[in-house]
């Protein structure tokens, strides 16, 4: 019996020989696989965090500011201000008032009312032959290609009037109001004032991007 055999143990449990059995450590393959998976997860988390941080500082990422709040409608406000700046004031619009009906004095009374509302008045009288006693509608607002803004401002005084462009006219501020047989009076002052306000301050145009609230107060 060998000296390494514990007392009372023999037979198939007997240890013989002078060489100790070699004890191998478990394979490292499992530990390597787990380490690789953990490394991939860490890199993924770091990548997502970096992308979010970059988006917080650029102007095209999430549509929020660095505090996580949706931006104000500054762009829409600037657009409205630009539109208002392009529109002339009533005093900068010269209106020639022509009567295409057989009702005497209609051009004069209309011109006087437009003057009270701030417009500059040019010529007042009967309509040219092309329109005189031939205009069945309410009125025609006539101006050159550059007078689009002036016509829009004048149009706030008469919602039923129709706009017409004369390519031969070069002025941007001189326009005609030709009164037709269906004309009664200018729109009420309150309605005209509201229409002018809406014209000067149009609703902001959506940018096409949706900003979602961050859920914070």
Q: How buried is residue 121: exposed, middle or buried, by Cβ count under 10 Å (0-12/13-18/19+)?
A: middle
Residue 195 sits in the same domain as residue 105? yes
Domain region containing 118 = 83-200
Residue 92 sits in the same domain as residue 164? yes
* Higher pLDDT pick, 170 / 10: 170
Which pLDDT belongs to residue 200? Answer: 87
- Is residue 18 situated within a structural domain? no
- Give pLDDT tens digits for 45-104: 555 555 554 554 454 544 444 444 444 444 444 444 444 458 999 999 999 999 999 999
Residue 113 sits in the same domain as residue 196? yes
Token representation of residue 46: 């770091």
Give the integer Cα–Cα distance in Å for 142 and 135: 13
pLDDT band at 140 (very low <50, low <70, confident <90, very high): very high
Which pLDDT belongs to residue 53? Answer: 45
- Give pLDDT tens digits for 96-126: 999 999 999 999 999 999 999 999 999 999 9
CB 137 within 8 A of CB 162: yes
- Is residue 93 situated within a structural domain? yes
- Is residue 166 situated within a structural domain? yes
Of the candidates 44, 87, 13, 71, which has an alpha carbon nearest to the alpha carbon of residue 209? 71
Which pLDDT belongs to residue 37? Answer: 63
- Is residue 156 situated within a structural domain? yes
> Furthest-apart CA pair in the chain: how many Å?
145
Residue 50 sits in the same domain as residue 89? no
Domain count, the chain: 2
The pTM for the full model equals: 0.58
- Is residue 117 situated within a structural domain? yes
Residue 190 sits in the same domain as residue 88? yes
What is the pLDDT averaged over residues 133-141?
A: 95
Residue 37 sits in the same domain as residue 109? no
Give me the DSSP letters along 47-84. HHHHHHHHHHHSSSSSS--TTSPPPPSHHHHHHHHHHH
Which pLDDT belongs to residue 201? Answer: 84
Q: How buried is residue 153: exposed, middle or buried, by Cβ count under 10 Å (0-12/13-18/19+)?
A: buried
pLDDT band at 19 (very low <50, low <70, confident <90, very high): low
- Is residue 74 situated within a structural domain? no
- Give pLDDT tens digits for 173-203: 999 999 999 999 999 999 999 999 999 886 6
- Is residue 3 situated within a structural domain? no
- Is residue 210 situated within a structural domain? no
């Amino acid at each position: 019996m060998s000296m390494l055999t514990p007392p009372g143990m023999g037979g198939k449990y007997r240890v013989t020989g002078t060489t100790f059995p070699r004890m191998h450590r478990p394979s490292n393959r499992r530990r390597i696989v787990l380490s690789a998976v953990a490394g991939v997860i860490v890199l993924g988390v770091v990548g997502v965090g970096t992308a979010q941080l970059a988006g917080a500082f650029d102007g095209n990422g999430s549509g929020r500011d660095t505090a996580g709040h949706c931006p104000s409608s500054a762009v829409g406000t600037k657009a409205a201000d630009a539109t208002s700046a392009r529109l002339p004031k009533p005093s900068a619009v010269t209106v020639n008032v022509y009567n295409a009906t057989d009702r005497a004095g209609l051009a004069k009374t209309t011109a006087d009312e437009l003057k009270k509302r701030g417009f500059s008045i040019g010529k007042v009288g009967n309509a040219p032959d092309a329109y005189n006693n031939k205009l069945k509608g309410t009125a025609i607002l006539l101006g050159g290609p550059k007078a689009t803004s002036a016509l829009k401002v004048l149009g706030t005084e008469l919602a039923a009037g129709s706009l017409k462009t004369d390519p031969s006219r070069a002025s941007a501020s001189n326009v005609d109001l030709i009164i037709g047989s269906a004309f009664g009076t200018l729109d009420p002052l309150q309605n005209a004032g509201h229409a002018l306000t809406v014209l000067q301050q149009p609703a902001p145009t959506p940018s096409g991007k949706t900003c979602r609230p961050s859920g914070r107060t």
